[in-house]
Amino acid sequence: MTDYLDAVAGLRGREEIWSATARFFAESGFDRLIYLHVTPSSAMMNTNLPEAWTQHYCDSEYQDIDPFLTHCCASLGPIGTGSDYCSDYDYLSDAQRRLIHEAAEFGMRAGFSATVRPRGSGGVGGWNLGSTLDRGQIEAIRVEKEPLLRMVAMYAHERLRDAPAPDVPSLSRRELECLYWLMQGDRTKDLAQRLNLSPAAIELYVKNARTKLGASTREHAIARAIAVGLLHP
């Protein structure tokens, strides 16, 4: 942990702190991370899952049923996550089980939660420390390192929360509308009908939003808009 603290001590920006923290967790075996902190006035999310998963997650509106938010963040105690633990929880709905197994196709096989702000306290926040390793391998790591990993998760949360927000680009109302409805799962054709605009106009608004956000794809634009507080999941 000392090396991690030394590496992060002089960092000030959220992206730099996130990158250093992701490297630390990856070196400990946790290479599929989701960090989420939502309050009534702000939302912060980081993940190193593939962008294709982020798009699928948004298209499927999984934010409304995600068991990480509904169950894992209900308390501070760690809960096993990922498809290898799915059969342990008889309270999961069919849709929640489908979410978990689909996430496994993108490498989210086993891990555990590290809640930093339980639900019901004016917000919710925590880490889903996931991995491409199997359950047995993860449980061996937890026996050795779980207190340290949870301590790093809490420390990183405090640093990310207090770090200066990145420069927030100014998006037009139409650009924000397009990103919002894309986040809800609309396609270009659906969005054109919803906003009474041509598909070409929708593509232009989305392209402008991507340029302003420095994003390479629609999914990247949505993720960055959430990270800087322009959109709320």
- Which of 112, 127, 162 lies at the terminal end of a domain, its last residue? 162
Whole-number pLDDT of residue 6: 84
Report if residue 168 sits inside a domain. Answer: no
- pTM exceeds cut of 0.75: no
Q: Are 128 and 23 in a shared domain?
A: yes
Whole-number pLDDT of residue 97: 97
Any idea what the CATH number is for the domain that residue 66 is in?
3.30.450.80
Q: Over its length of 233 residues, how does the chain's per-residue pLDDT go in tens digits?
A: 778 888 888 888 888 899 999 999 999 999 999 998 887 777 778 899 987 888 788 778 887 899 998 899 998 999 999 999 999 999 999 999 999 999 999 999 999 999 998 987 678 889 999 999 999 999 999 999 999 999 999 999 988 887 766 667 888 889 999 999 998 889 899 989 999 998 888 999 999 999 888 888 888 888 888 877 788 76
As for how many domains the chain has, the answer is 2
Q: What is the spatial distance between Cα 30 and Cα 226, in angstroms, rounded to a whole number?
A: 23
Any idea what the CATH number is for the domain that residue 206 is in?
1.10.10.10
Report if residue 128 sits inside a domain. Answer: yes
Q: Are 65 and 118 in a shared domain?
A: yes
C-beta of residue 210 within 8 angstroms of C-beta of residue 223:
no
Report if residue 232 sits inside a domain. Answer: no
- Which of 116, 132, 162 lies at the terminal end of a domain, its last residue? 162
Range of the domain at 72: 2-162
Whole-number pLDDT of residue 79: 97
Whole-number pLDDT of residue 121: 63
Q: Are 114 and 204 in a shared domain?
A: no
Q: Whats the size of the chain, residue-wise?
A: 233
Structure tokens at 26: 């990856």
